[in-house]
Amino acid sequence: MSASVKSLLSTLCTPGPHRVMRGNLGIAGQPGVVFTPEKGLNLPAVVFGHGWLAGVGNYRKLLEHLASWGFVAAGPDTERGPIPSHLNLATDLVTTLDICTGVRLGNGAVSVHPDKLALAGHGMGAGAAVIAAAQRPVAAVAALYPAPTAPSAESLAPDIESPALILAGDDIDSVGSNAIPLAAAWGGPMILRAVDKATHNGIVEGRRALAALGAAKYETKTDRTTRGLLVGYLTYQLLGDKTYKPFADPEAALPHTRVVDPEAVDEEEPEKPSKLQLLQAVQMLRK
């Protein structure tokens, strides 16, 4: 691992040079928020899907971080209940993409390039991002600690040609993660990275109320590393900046991560599901 890659990831984990502005997507008819740099034309955009029993507000730091590095970062704030529709969330992600590309943001000083778009999400939101990518081609997809959805993201993945970054935690083999089958099924270029000492709910801010159901607490190091990996990957894929090529290279060693070959993972006896995972399974069956 080169010192330059270590230094680059360390830099990307800290806020970027742009002043961040916040907006309300509700003005355009879609509940949600958008964060942008103070100004800039033809910027790249990332539309983000939240996880189960969360909202876009639980990812404020991540979205602000993307905006500080020059991205327009937006997310719908829908399907927040215990029995959400993953299809509806995917539709809202596509609608949010259309809003970002169709109107000038801020005071007219910010616009998005129609060919520099990415879909991203966490947990069920990662699955919804995949469902959306099957409907609307984008330049890149980022599935952060993905969880099973209905329809299953892995059933749609073979037909998606967009490059993908799939992140997982140390609990990559748990029933609450479908990172391995999603990576194995992906049709385009794909990287599956496991983040050291991370759990699949570690990037969710302020979600401590679900601890009794087995949900992990917010993990500062996990969130910090995830932000850096995401910015590096999207900067290369959306802007073509070769400085960040290691973030899209499955052969590159990046700090605090390991590359996982989904075809080489040994099958082990599945762990006993937690209360939270059982509740997630129930909400999927009730669709």
Q: Can you give the pLDDT at residue 16?
A: 97
- Report the alpha-carbon distance of residue 89 to residue 54 in Å, rounded: 13
Count: domains in the chain: 1
Can you name the residues that pair with 73 across neighbouring β-strands?
Answer: 35, 46
Distant-in-sequence, close-in-space partners of 134: CB < 8 Å, separation ≥ 6: 156, 159, 160
* pLDDT tens for each residue of 167-199: 999 999 888 899 999 999 999 999 999 999 999
> Which residues touch 19 (CB under 8 Å, ≥6 apart)?
37, 38, 68
> Of 92, 96, 90, which Cα lies nearest the Cα of 74?
96
pLDDT of residue 106: 76
The secondary structure of residue 178, as a DSSP letter, is -
| Beta strands at 72-76 and 32-37: parallel, antiparallel or unpaired | antiparallel
Would you state the pLDDT for residue 269? Answer: 46
Separation between Cα atoms, residue 86 and residue 229, nearest integer Å: 25
For 253-276, write each residue's pLDDT tens digit.
999 999 999 988 655 444 555 555
Q: Which CATH number is 86's domain given?
A: 3.40.50.1820
Mean per-residue pLDDT, 138-167: 97
Q: Please, what is the Cα angle at 129 between 26 and 209, to 5 degrees? A: 70
Element (H, E) at 204: none
Which pLDDT tens digit goes with each residue over 197-231?
999 999 999 865 555 555 558 899 999 999 999 99
Cα angle at 114 between 109 and 117, to 5 degrees? 100
Q: Which residue is listed with tokens 């109320």?
A: 209
Domain holding 18, by residue range, is: 5-285
Residue 138's φ and ψ, nearest 5 degrees, are -135, 170
Using one digit for the tens of pLDDT, what is the confidence trace for 90-114?
999 999 999 999 988 877 889 999 9
Rounded to two decimals, the pTM is: 0.90
Question: Once rounded to an integer, what is the mean pLDDT over residues 47-52?
Answer: 96
Show Cβ contacts of residue 88 under 8 Å, excluding neighbours closer than 6 positions. 78, 79
What would the two tokens of residue 199 be?
């759990």
